[in-house]
Amino acid sequence: MTNTTRRGRFAPSPTGQLHMGSMVAAVGSYLNIRSQHGEWLLRMDDIDPPREEPGAAASILESLEAHGLYWEGEVMYQSHRNEAYEAALEQLHKQGLSYYCRCTRKQIEQAGNAGDYGPIYSGHCRDKSVGSDDAAIRICTSSNTVITPDLIQGDYQQILDQAIGDFVVRRRDKLYAYHLAVVVDDAEQDITEIVRGLDLLDSTPRQQYLQQCLGLPTPVYAHLPIVLNQQGQKLSKQNLAPPLDSTRASDNLYQALVFLKQNPPTNLAMESPDAILEWGVKNWDMNRISKTTSPD
């Protein structure tokens, strides 16, 4: 990669088959980076085995290919990246930014410090000599305001120690936290632009903070509105979102363009996936995208 190459990525979790919500995220990230003559990479966020569904990773790859969404290079699997995550934890430890914590979710909830994004951790274990047995690892947050410039949503900001508290970077079950893994992997893949769903916006300041602590670059962010079902719920496996029918790839891509307000001509729906994506790349305009979520 040259210094001027733009790189985007799609990073699904293999918890089930792709649905329309994940297709919108894939199409948005693909068109955005391809319109800049950049590279689109694929990463499988298989960092949480208890939530994963057997065969889902292979199904996701097949679905993307059926829709003409081809990626550059090899697929990165987070399950193969433990050494890199451990090195990042060691770096945080050497900087005095992390500590062991045995507080349970119930204890944190009972502390009564509720926030907009869940219970705010009080830092109970920060100054204690807690051993590593049966303990999570948390990172010390600060009172500085973290500002996320977002190409769709505008500036978003959090003061982490007030909004979140010290957050987990490795769980008690020794699994690495998503926030740690994603920043390490985005840096490894030289990702310059991240286009993903609005449901991940409030986690972005935590990722930016980790990038700062680890001396990693911060990509450009754009958070797309998420697709809702008729009940106003986010499309997800938990809400029984129907899997994509790959035999209807052209229609799926066309509907994704409509959702993203790209104003595709009606006759485009009859074209091949490659032709639809070619049109999407040539006509991509992020300024058309709505900030808010729309019902399915």
Q: Please report whether residue 184 resides in a domain.
A: no
Give the neighbor-by-neighbor strand order of the sheet with 167-170: 98-101, 136-139, 167-170
Instruction: Tell me: do 116 and 44 sit in the same domain.
Output: no
Q: Please report whether residue 227 resides in a domain.
A: yes
Q: Please report whether residue 183 resides in a domain.
A: no
Q: Please report whether residue 162 resides in a domain.
A: yes
Cβ atoms of 228 and 295 closer than 8 Å: yes
Chain-centre distance for alpha carbon 288:
22
Q: What is the pLDDT of residues 126-178, one digit of tens each?
A: 887 777 788 999 999 999 999 999 999 999 999 999 999 999 999 999 999 99
DSSP class of residue 150?
A: B
DSSP class of residue 23?
A: H
Of 147, 178, 209, which marks where a domain is finished?
A: 178
pLDDT tens by residue, the chain, 296 residues: 555 789 999 999 999 999 899 999 999 999 999 999 999 999 999 999 888 899 999 999 999 999 999 999 999 999 999 999 999 999 999 999 999 999 988 888 887 677 788 889 988 888 877 777 889 999 999 999 999 999 999 999 999 999 999 999 999 999 999 999 999 999 999 999 999 999 999 999 999 999 999 999 999 999 999 988 776 667 766 666 788 999 999 999 999 999 999 999 999 999 999 999 999 999 999 999 999 765 44
The CA-based dihedral angle spanning residues 199, 202, 204, 210, taken in that order and rounded to the nearest 10 degrees: -130
Q: Please report whether residue 98 resides in a domain.
A: yes
Instruction: Tell me: do 131 and 220 sit in the same domain.
Output: no
Instruction: Tell me: do 61 and 108 sit in the same domain.
Output: no
Q: How far is residue 231's CA from residue 243's CA, in Å, rounded to a whole number?
A: 17
Q: Please report whether residue 185 resides in a domain.
A: no
Q: How far is residue 208's CA from residue 9's CA, in Å, rounded to a whole number?
A: 17
Maximum distance among all alpha carbons in the chain? 66
Instruction: Tell me: do 15 and 158 sit in the same domain.
Output: no
Instruction: Tell me: do 38 and 170 sit in the same domain.
Output: no
Can you list the pairs that 233-240 forms with residues at least 24 positions away whose Cβ atoms lie under 8 Å?
234/21, 234/199, 234/293, 235/19, 235/20, 235/21, 235/22, 235/296, 236/19, 236/21, 237/15, 237/16, 237/19, 237/53
CATH code, 56: 3.40.50.620
Instruction: Tell me: do 170 and 219 sit in the same domain.
Output: no
Domain range holding 122? 82-178
Instruction: Tell me: do 14 and 66 sit in the same domain.
Output: yes
Q: Nearest 5 degrees, angle CA 84-CA 87-CA 91?
A: 140
Instruction: Tell me: do 204 and 70 sit in the same domain.
Output: yes
Tokens of 199: 């449901």
Q: Please report whether residue 1 resides in a domain.
A: no
Instruction: Tell me: do 220 and 261 sit in the same domain.
Output: yes
pLDDT of the residue at 117: 83
Of 151, 178, 205, which marks where a domain is finished?
A: 178
Q: Please report whether residue 14 resides in a domain.
A: yes
> What is the distance in angstroms between the CA of the first residue and the CA of the last residue of the chain?
38
Instruction: Tell me: do 64 and 106 sit in the same domain.
Output: no
Of 114, 146, 178, which marks where a domain is finished?
A: 178
DSSP class of residue 267?
A: G
pLDDT of the residue at 159: 94
Instruction: Tell me: do 33 and 101 sit in the same domain.
Output: no
pLDDT of the residue at 296: 43
Instruction: Tell me: do 173 and 223 sit in the same domain.
Output: no
Number of structural domains, the chain? 2
Q: How far is residue 73's CA from residue 177's CA, in Å, rounded to a whole number?
A: 25
Q: How far is residue 250's CA from residue 269's CA, in Å, rounded to a whole number?
A: 6
